[in-house]
């Protein structure tokens, strides 16, 4: 596609966009009585307008039914998670039985590692990306120590080559193959939070399995951002938060995936709780844990109804647009236009003030585009916020901008470029 750096072109793209009315389904923050151009869905998604209605419905159930709400009403809480499973599965490319909404992301990562990180004297190492989000680093370090190993020996980090910002798939695979006999687990993010790089999860999973390792993913920045095929890729397990691209509210409920090939494995350890017990016999209150079939068997505590309601509200909008493929098509175009506009800004300035560190290949990124400001980065970012463009700042000099296809427009991208150019000229 040939882009143009003018408002008329951006508006024409929006007019042709089949998803252009979806932004009307969301509430935008305001400043000085004007809405923000919101480019921070990679950190916290916008509130769906329907969220208040769905949440109020559950509050009314609490008011009117009290404890009977677990079994009475149109959506008994005992089974509420099953409606979410129906909507979650297409977002991550799974069967309904393979997914479950529960807990929060890092809690779920720990619970899943109890089952799927099973080190032995020969196989005890974990391969992960260098520069993973700190929660993953801390969780993996603590799990390794819990099993009596030194993180310096047990954790292998795959880092970009000198002078580069992103990883090459062949280097990840080469590291897996070089350490194959010692690897117990390959645990990667789906998309790197800092650079926005989308990893080749299919190839990583295949490489991990080829050396006898288990493979899992933290999909915090991938779920709801890019199409996933966890079942077809034969990923062993995954977990994600719902408050970024899935717009389920701050601290929203997490989701897990466990591949169906593990359902009959009685040797898997797990930290059990009442809600993971076999549903039909749960209220018999018997000793001896018998897990519910599928991913539901990894539940520990009872359904978090209010966070689930917010997630439900958001997932209904994913269903409305036809889930991930239409969103991905628009996302590719939006991110490509953002690449183009940033290039136009640099050209107008006569030098590379903004260096893009997100992969150029559209198939190797999601919605997020990360740029290094060569000078005055924080001042530029603060100027954007002051002028109603809200992205995300990461030390020491990176601005993350995510044009989310659910609610962002080509006009948003164009106007952001205008402001970047104006502030760069003024400082």
pLDDT at 397: 96
- The CATH fold assigned to 54-321 is 3.40.640
Q: What is the residue whose two structure tokens read 């209220």?
A: 283
Asked whether 72 and 275 are in contact (CB, 8 A), the reply is: no
pTM beyond 0.85: the answer is yes
pLDDT tens sequence across 105-121: 999 999 999 999 999 99
pLDDT at 27: 98
71-78: long-range contacts (C-beta < 8 A, 24 or more apart)?
A: 77/303, 77/305, 78/303
Q: Domain 7-35+323-426 belongs to what architecture? A: Alpha-Beta Complex (3.90)
**Domain-by-domain residue ranges, the chain?**
7-35+323-426, 54-321
Q: Which two tokens stand for residue 204?
A: 């990583």
Q: What is the residue whose two structure tokens read 């390792």?
A: 213
pLDDT at 1: 80
First to last CA, the chain: 33
Asked whether 363 and 385 are in contact (CB, 8 A), the reply is: no
Instruction: Considering only CA atoms, give the Rg of the chain.
Output: 22
pLDDT at 259: 98
pLDDT at 427: 84
pLDDT at 271: 96
pLDDT < 50 stretches in the chain = none
């Amino acid at each position: 596609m040939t882009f143009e750096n003018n408002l008329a072109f951006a508006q024409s793209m929006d007019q042709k966009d089949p998803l252009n009315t979806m932004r009307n389904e969301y509430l935008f923050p305001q400043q000085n009585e004007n809405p923000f151009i919101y480019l921070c869905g990679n950190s916290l998604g916008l509130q769906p307008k329907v969220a208040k209605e769905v949440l109020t419905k559950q509050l009314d159930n609490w008011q009117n039914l009290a404890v009977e709400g677990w079994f009475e009403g149109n959506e008994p809480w005992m089974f509420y998670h099953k409606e979410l499973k129906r909507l979650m599965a297409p977002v991550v490319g799974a069967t309904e039985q393979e997914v479950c909404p529960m807990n929060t992301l890092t809690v779920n990562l720990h619970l899943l590692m109890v089952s799927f990180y099973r080190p032995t004297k020969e196989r005890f190492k974990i391969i992960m990306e260098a520069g993973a989000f700190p929660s993953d680093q801390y969780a993996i370090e603590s799990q390794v120590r819990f099993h009596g190993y030194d993180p310096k020996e047990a954790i292998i980090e795959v880092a970009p080559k000198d002078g580069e910002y992103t990883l090459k798939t062949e280097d990840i695979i080469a590291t897996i193959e070089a350490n194959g006999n010692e690897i117990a687990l390959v645990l990667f993010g789906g998309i790197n939070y800092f650079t926005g790089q989308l990893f080749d999860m299919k190839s990583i999973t295949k490489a991990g399995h080829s050396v006898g390792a288990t493979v899992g993913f933290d999909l915090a920045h991938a779920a709801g951002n890019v199409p996933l095929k966890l079942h077809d890729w034969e990923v062993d397990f995954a977990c994600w938060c719902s408050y970024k691209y899935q717009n389920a509210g701050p601290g929203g409920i997490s989701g897990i995936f466990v591949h169906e090939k593990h359902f009959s494995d009685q040797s898997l350890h797990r930290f059990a709780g009442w809600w993971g017990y076999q549903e039909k016999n749960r209220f018999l209150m018997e000793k001896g844990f018998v897990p519910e079939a599928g991913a539901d068997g990894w539940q520990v505590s009872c359904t978090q109804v209010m966070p689930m309601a917010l997630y439900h509200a958001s997932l209904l909008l994913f269903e409305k647009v036809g889930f991930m493929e239409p969103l991905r098509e628009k996302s590719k175009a939006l991110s490509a236009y953002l690449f183009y506009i940033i290039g136009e800004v640099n050209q107008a300035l006569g030098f590379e003030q903004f260096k893009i560190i997100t992969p150029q290949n559209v198939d190797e990124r999601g919605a997020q585009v990360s740029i290094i400001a060569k000078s005055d980065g924080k001042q530029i970012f603060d100027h954007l916020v002051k002028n109603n463009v809200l992205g995300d700042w990461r030390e020491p000099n990176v601005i993350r901008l995510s044009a989310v296809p659910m609610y962002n427009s080509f006009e948003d991208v164009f106007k952001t470029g205008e402001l970047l150019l104006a502030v760069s000229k003024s400082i």
